[in-house]
Amino acid sequence: MGTALEVRDLHVSVEGKPILKGVNLVVRQGEVHALMGPNGTGKSTLANTLMGHPNYEVTHGEILFKGKDLVGMGPDERSRLGLFLAFQYPVAIPGVSLANFLRAALNARRRASDSTDKGMPIPEFRKLLKQKMDVLKMPHEFAGRYLNEGFSGGEKKRAEILQLATLEPEIAVLDETDSGLDIDALRIVASGVNDLAGPELGVLIITHYQRILNYVKPQFVHIMLGGRVVESGGPELAEHLEEHGYDWIREKVGETVAEA
Ligand code: ADP
Ligand code: MG
């Protein structure tokens, strides 16, 4: 069995206010999961906590990855371990090309597993990058652009997916609830995930958009409500949500959430 990201009874507060109230979730390498739920239920709080954002205080529970508890680790340390989190890079880095950024990130990952690693030679890296861009049908010039400088929403997503392809993480967490995300950006993410999904990669797509699931087919679907994962199932759960919305699940767990 491969690597897993295991969230156990996770409680998280933001500015002293409890938001996550006992999240349990396991994502294994080779699996595609979707975490869905109405606005304000804590999905992005989970993403930010997994990322190691300092404003999100874990008051209880564990986040296990490769036998380690990620709680207390910085975002870069998590990334070097093989966990990919979207938006882990700054908004824009003028003067640093996407290619150079990716090479630095890749070499940091290599050094984490072998401290004597001298980094990937540039010709080898160029070859790798071209190969990844071909898989994702991206023009090679894209790698020469300065990181996120003047990137459209869709281009930011492309950069993110290219980063995912290059770093080859074991588990990737993608929070796609960004309000700026249009349908094209969503398609880019979806087709990237489809191209990259396989036995070596586990993906958790966090979304309130039903429509991304028209392009990506997760094997597992979870519903978050009131800071907890209250229902898990297969793709049929997403279809049920599409048809019936969230009211039925609110009714079903109403008391539990009210007590929390
Ligand atoms: P979702 O992604 O499911 O829409 P969020 O995780 O963004 O939900 O928000 C869950 C709750 O946490 C909301 O009530 C929101 O107001 C609150 N929250 C999230 N982040 C912050 C923050 N940085 N400061 C204050 N409140 C926050
Ligand atoms: Mg959100």
**Ligand 1 atom index nearest CA of 37:** 3
Q: Which domain holds residue 78?
A: 4-253
Q: What is the mean pLDDT of residues 90-108?
A: 83
Find the 20 Cα to ligand 1 centroid distance in Å.
10
pLDDT over 70 percentage in the chain: 93
Find the 39 Cα to ligand 1 centroid distance in Å.
9
Q: Judge if the beta carbon of residue 44 lies within 6 A of ligand 1.
A: yes
DSSP 3-state assignment of 97?
Answer: strand
DSSP symbols for 164-179: HHHH--SEEEEE---T
Q: What is the mean pLDDT of residues 181-210?
A: 85
Pick the closest to residue 163 from 215, 91, 89 (CA basis): 89
Cβ-count burial 68-82 (b if 16+ within 10 Å, e if not): eebbebebeebbbbb
pLDDT tens digits, one per residue of 28-73 = 999 999 999 998 999 999 999 998 999 999 999 999 999 899 999 9
As given in the structure block, the two tokens for residue 224 are 């978050």
Out of 17, 19, 57, mutate this one to test ligand 1's pocket (max ligand atoms within 8 Å of CB): namely 19
Sheet holding 83-85, edge to edge: 83-85, 171-175, 202-206, 32-36, 220-225, 228-233
**Ligand 1 atom index nearest CA of 38:** 3
Looking up tokens 């954002």, which residue turns up?
A: 53
If you take atom 16 of ligand 1, which residue's CA is the nearest one? 40
pTM of the model: 0.90
Considering every ligand atom shown, identify the ligand nearest to the alpha carbon of residue 23 and give its number: 1
Which residues, listed in sequence order, are joined to residue 220 by a DSSP beta bridge?
Answer: 33
What is the pLDDT confidence band of residue 181, given thresholds at 50, 70 and 90?
Answer: low
**Ligand 1 atom index nearest CA of 224:** 3
pLDDT tens digits, one per residue of 127-146 = 999 999 998 888 999 999 98
What's the CA gap between 79 and 110, in Å, rounded? 11
Query: In this structure, which residues have their CB less than 5 angstroms from ion ligand 2?
Result: 43-44, 177
Pick the closest to residue 209 from 233, 175, 236, 237 (CA basis): 175
Q: Are 35 and 206 in contact (CB under 8 A)?
A: yes
pLDDT tens digits, one per residue of 111-122 = 888 889 999 999
Q: Judge if the beta carbon of residue 179 lies within 6 A of ligand 1.
A: no
Q: CATH number, domain at 73?
A: 3.40.50.300
Q: Are strands 83-85 and 68-69 parallel, antiparallel or unpaired?
A: unpaired
Please give the tally of structural domains in the chain.
Answer: 1
Find the 201 Cα to ligand 2 centroid distance in Å.
23
Tell me, yes or no, whether 14 lies in a domain: yes
Which residues, listed in sequence order, are joined to residue 206 by a DSSP beta bridge?
Answer: 35, 175
Considering every ligand atom shown, identify the ligand nearest to the alpha carbon of residue 48 and give its number: 1
Cβ neighbours of 254 (radius 10 Å): 12
Tell me, yes or no, whether 231 lies in a domain: yes
Tell me, yes or no, whether 258 lies in a domain: no
* CA-to-CA dists, residue 58 to 5, 6, 10, 18, 53, angstroms: 16, 15, 7, 10, 11
Tell me, yes or no, whether 249 lies in a domain: yes
Q: Are 203 and 174 in contact (CB under 8 A)?
A: yes
The type of residue at 203 is V
Tell me, yes or no, whether 22 lies in a domain: yes
Tell me, yes or no, whether 259 lies in a domain: no
Cβ-count burial 186-218 (b if 16+ within 10 Å, e if not): bbbbbebbeebbeeebbbbbbbbeeebbeebeb
Tell me, yes or no, whether 260 lies in a domain: no
Tell me, yes or no, whether 38 lies in a domain: yes
Find the 130 Cα to ligand 2 centroid distance in Å.
33
